[in-house]
Structure 1
Amino acid sequence: MTDAILGQVALGYSPFIDRNRTVTATRLTVFPLRPDATLDASQLLRAVGSVWPADGARVSLNVASESLLQDLLKAEPTINVMIEVPAFMASDPANIEPLLALHKHGNTMLLKGRPLKELPREVLPCFKYSIIDLVDDRRATEGPHAPNGAVRSISHVQAGIASIAEMEASFNRGAAAVLGWPIDDAVAMSTAGGKPAGQTDLQVIVELINRVDKQEPIEKLEGTLKRDPSLAFKLMRYINSPAFGLSVEISSFRHAIMMLGYQRLKRWLALLLATASKDTNLKPVMFAAVRRGLLMEELVRGSGDDEMRNEMFICGVFSLLDRMFKQPFADLMRTIPVPQRVFQALVENTGPYQPYFDLVKAVESESLFDFRAAADNLMMSVSEINRAQLRALTTAAELD
């Protein structure tokens, strides 16, 4: 990944989530760092292809540069690459030909924003979805009797979602998907009778983490895991995934400990804990937690410090456990052993890992201002951060 464009843009990402709470695609937002920069569309597509190859998952490009977007419209991206087109560009007669060509090529296009004038009749069939921000959705603000202008001829994706309640309401209004991380109130919505979903599963994993932390004999660890065979299967699946990079297949929990050792096993138990809930409302939360862990690890991959990388992974993966357990971190960390630097970041919002956590949240919020501030605070180059993002997203795709 040596393309110059990774030092000329800031990247952010968020998921497309359907009504089954399944992540169906990833949105990659691309901000130019300088408005006058000349950006190479082919370099961007090569970087995108390294994570989302032609036979891979879908990605939607949200490009905040008109000139770069014009070049992308004239390129021939692989058909799993979706393109978001602002309404003002879709309304411009000069773009009719490239829009028709991209549609003929088989790429999905999404209309972004409310058109100020009617779109050319020829380009209307080119758009499969429109992206409508919640604050601009007249159906949301004016109810079912919205004016005729709110009638939609194509399916829509709802942006600006911050909570499960808003997501539910969007789907009830007919949204095909929501865009973003609806995790603000996932705790309240994912519980029944005041207990987190999948409580038994979570308790088993917490017990395993404690036993691994104490380096108890393998027999005791196996006995704990046997209480839930489905968790044992999930752990083995993670460890044998391409993301783990082992040259031999792990056939048993005992084999895993022999091959990995207690410290490396602990990070994968952390991953298992963050993805153990069976509650569908928590799917976006689990998705976000895994990607946080992978990105935080990648941000320090060049440090040469294996302990720091493992701790950063655990910090990111655990960063949403308060929502899953419906408990503040200060209470959770009394039962789940974590390194001191992870404790500082999650409980006290301080310590050496906090600036990295701020950067991860800036990436998720797709905020150029916050991205710049966090990068400056860490004294990391934009190209380093972008490469870390792409590596993390590649590993996440392997885990999926």
Structure 2
Amino acid sequence: MDNDVLRNIALSYSPMVDRNRKVTATRLTVSSLRTQEALKADHLLAAIAEVWPEGGQPVSLNIMSETLLNDLLRAKPLSSVMVEIPSFIACDPANTEVIAQLHANGNTLLLHGRPPSLLPREILPCFKHSIIDLADDRRKNEIPGHVEPGVVRSMGFIQSNVRTVAEMENSFARGALAILGWPIEDVTSTESPAASRAGQPDMAVLVELIRRVDEGEDIDKLEVVLKRDPTLAYQLMRYINSPAFGLSVEIGSFRHAIMMLGYKRLKRWLALLLATASKDANMRPVMFASVRRGIFMEQLVAHTGDDETRGEVFICGVFSLLDKLFQKPFGELLKTIPVPERVYQALVEGEGPHHPYLELARAVETETAPVINEYAEHLLMSLQEVNRAVLGTLTMANQLE
């Protein structure tokens, strides 16, 4: 459907991760980049409903435009849509009735930021959780088990702006239900315990399998390698039979998969599995990011690139965090994993035709709207095209989980 609001905003996303390192929801940040244009909340909600239907995985809407947010508060979002309401808006008595109505409609409401004054008593029960920036969290200075005099807390909190593993662990220790985003750089540093466990045996099997597929070896020889890791075989069948893959028949064996897919498409999904093979809990959100990068970059060229280009940008995105997972520079890592030349250029040299798509993917993950706009313009893409790629990515990613 044509949707004017997608022409004037920048969408970005980040995971909401609980203490078990499970992604429980997606935060979708909506930034207005065309402030002179009137933005309609019902148009935005119609676009979101295509990705998050009623009963789907929760999405938390972080609306950066006050005008658009006020319009949305008076619309009727699906119950699967969580709405983040800045504390200064929640404290305004003019919004009390609409907040109460959203709560009555079944929407989960999140109070964003520490209120500048007391909330109206009648809407306090409307908020399920609060979102507290780490820098503003008064709990940091409290003795465990003690609360500041006069402070009453009736809702759980989600921590934002967490940059390190230590900050993450401390947030959970203080009772945080989840954090927004993930400290990828820190969790994959050489000093991190998670990084030392990143290279798992099944990764070695995958690397060998990718190399043999690249060389076009016989199916029998490929099956021998795959049988060394039954868990890997199960994962492969699960991914291939997922709705995102779009096959009309169920794949029952590795041999059947190769017959149906061919070697090029098989290599693509082996690349996906390589990026999601770590068994370390702290690596789950890193793998989450790898999958979404690959899908997003493919979505960006879906209507302009040929099959070869789509396959290459997918692998480029999926492999873009392998250096962190394996704790090796790309120049060394890609000596053992065969990749197309344009993927090598993007990952090792930071240049080439695929590199701007990778930079755009990174910008979408970090909620930096001006940078998203800048890379879109560099690629001669409209904001609408980029936003559709974001929504298409989240649709496919939800189908894979």
TM over 0.5: yes
- Shift of residue 19 of structure 1? 0.5
What secondary structure sits across from 1:70 in the alignment? helix
Does 2:399 match 1:368?
Answer: no
Q: Counterpart of 2:179?
A: 178
Which residue is 2:397 aligned to? 396
User: Are 1:210 and 2:220 an aligned pair?
Assistant: no
Residues 91 and 120 of structure 1 are in contact (CA less than 8 Å); yes or no, is this contact kept in structure 2?
yes
Residues 1:77 and 2:65 are matched in the alignment: no
Aligned AA (1:210): R
Q: Structure 1 counterpart of 2:10, which letter?
A: A
CA change 1:193–1:65 in 2 (3 A) is closer
Misfit runs of 4+, over 6 Å: none
After superposing the two structures, state which structure 1 stretch, 70-79 or 218-227, moved more: 70-79
Distance 1:222 1:149, change over 3 A: farther
1:270-309 residue CA offsets vs partner (Å, 9 max, x unmatched): 0011111111110100101000000000001112411110
- Would you say how many aligned residue pairs link Structure 1 and Structure 2? 400
The residue identity in structure 1 corresponding to 2:21 is: R
Q: Kindly state the Cα deviation for residue 153 of structure 1 after the two structures are TM-superposed.
A: 2.8
Equivalent position of 2:248 in the other structure: 247
- Deviation of the 1:340 alpha carbon: 1.0
- Asked if 1 retains the 8 angstrom alpha-carbon contact of 2:190 and 2:327, the reply is no
Partner-residue secondary structure (3-state), 2:39: coil
**Residue 33 of structure 2 aligns to which amino acid in structure 1?**
L
Any stretches of 5+ residues in structure 2 without a counterpart?
Answer: none
Contact 1:190 1:281 in 2 (8 A): no
Distance 1:299 1:34 in 2: 21
Partner residue, 1:98 = 98
Distance apart, 1:396 and its partner CA: 0.5
Deviation at 1:149, TM superposition (A): 6.8
TM-score by length of 1: 0.96
> Does residue 1:3 correspond to 2:3, yes or no?
yes
Question: 1:196 touches 1:326 (CA, 8 Å); kept in 2?
Answer: no
Secondary structure at the counterpart of residue 10 of structure 2: strand
Decide whether aligned partners of structure 1 residues 215 and 143 sit closer, same or farther in structure 2, where only a CA change above 3 A counts.
farther
- How far does the alpha carbon of each residue in 1:318-362 deviate from its partner, in whole angstroms, 9 at most, with x for none? 111112111121211111111111111111111111111111111
| Counterpart position of 2:87 | 87
Give SS of 1:184's match: helix
Residue 143 and residue 357 in structure 1: after superposition, are their counterparts in 2 closer, same or farther (change >3 A)? farther
CA distance in 2, matches of 1:121, 1:281: 39
Partner of 2:41: 41
- Matched with 2:276 is 275
CA apart distance, 1:34: 2.2
- What is the alpha-carbon distance in structure 2 between the residues aligned to residue 198 and residue 151 of structure 1? 46
Note the alpha carbon deviations across 1:144-173, whole angstroms, 9 max, x for none: 577447653311100112233322111011
Contact 1:61 1:83 survives alignment (8 Å): yes
Secondary structure of 2:351's counterpart equals coil
Compared CA separation, residues 143 and 306, structure 1 to 2 (3 A): farther
Distance 1:312 1:46, change over 3 A: same
Instruction: Provide the residue aligned with 1:13 in structure 2.
Output: 13
* Residues 80-110 of structure 1: per-residue CA shift (max 9 Å, x gap): 1000001110000000100111111111101
Which SS does the other structure have where 1:82 is aligned? strand
| Deviation digits for residues 110-150 of structure 1 (CA, Å, limit 9, x no counterpart) | 11112111111111111111111112223336765774476
Change (3 A) 1:193 1:266: closer
**Structure 2: distance between partners of 1:190 and 1:122:** 49
Matched position secondary structure for 2:238: helix
Q: Distance in 2 between matches of 1:3 and 1:188?
A: 42
| Gapped regions of structure 1 (runs ≥ 5) | none
Task: State the one-letter code of the partner of 1:44.
Answer: L
Q: 1:383 to 1:135 in 2, by over 3 A?
A: same
Partner secondary structure for residue 152 of structure 1 = coil
Equivalent residue, structure 2, for 1:51: 51
Q: 1:142 to 1:373 in 2, by over 3 A?
A: farther
Does 2:344 match 1:343?
yes
In structure 2, what is the Cα distance between the partners aligned to 1:389 and 1:172?
33
Change (3 A) 1:166 1:389: same
RMSD: 1.8
